[in-house]
Amino acid sequence: MEKEKDLIERLSNPKTQEVAFKELVRTYQKVLYYHIRNIALNHDDSDDILQNTFLKVFEKLSEFNGDSKLYSWLYRIATNEARNYILKKARRNGDTYENFQTKIAGNLVADSYFDGDELQLKLQKAISLLPERQQLIFKMKYFEELKYEEIADILGVSVGGLKSNYHLAVKKIEEFINKH
């Protein structure tokens, strides 16, 4: 907490901002990458989105007033960047978000940066069939192991709503995996 507070202070100071920002990138690049990757599924898109995310973070540094935790703010920007990127791609293909995600999940087997087994592939396909919001909640809870309170803070939803969405998602995924 103190470390984050110190980083925020240095990010707010124009004299120390550049060095602090470099530290921010190095500290959060991995966790934000995998968050983005869970949404975008392929590496190249995730790389683009991650860069865009940090550029946006830099652009909006002056707007961060410390009301929320730093990582919540970063996650929020990353989530929006990823979602908008995928939505744009889906629309260009004349697809809905979910249909597009299902297609990408189906192509994972040919992706050079996916070395998962059959079960992992089935899981990704099952997730891609969920509604967009449920997909995100499941991934953040199951893959990224975030607490409900953290997810609620990032997505701006209630913990109760998150729990019911997660349990519904789990049920649908188990049905799909056990059927296919």
Partner 1 sequence: MEPKITLSKHPKIDTGFTVPEDYFDHFPDQVFKKIPVTTVKVVPFKRNNRLWYFVAASFVVGLTLLPYYWWEQNTLQEVDSSTIENYLAYQAMVSEDEIVNFLDENDLEKMKIDLDISNNDLEKILEETPNIEQYLID
Q: Looking only at Cα atoms, what is the longest distance across the chain?
A: 59
Stretch that binds partner 1, among 3-11, 66-74, 78-86, 166-174 (CB under 8 A): 166-174
Measured CA to CA, the distance from residue 160 to residue 148 in angstroms comes to 9
Sorted by sequence, the CB contacts under 8 Å of residue 8 that are 6+ apart come out as 64, 66, 70
Query: Which of 60-63's residues contact partners 24+ apart within 8 Å by CB, and which partners?
Result: 61/11, 61/12, 61/17, 61/21, 62/12
The yes or no reply on residue 147 touching partner 1 (CB under 8 A) is no
Site track for partner 1 across 50-69, x = CB under 8 A = xx--xx--x-----------
If the CB atoms of residues 91 and 120 are measured against partner 1, the closer one turns out to be 120
The yes or no reply on residue 177 touching partner 1 (CB under 8 A) is yes
The yes or no reply on residue 158 touching partner 1 (CB under 8 A) is no
If the CB atoms of residues 1 and 119 are measured against partner 1, the closer one turns out to be 119
Closest-CA residue to 45 (of 124, 100, 125, 117): 100
Site of interaction with partner 1 (CB under 8 A): 18, 21-22, 25-26, 29-30, 33-34, 37-38, 41, 43, 47, 50-51, 54-55, 58, 108, 113-117, 119-121, 123-124, 142-143, 170, 173-174, 177-178
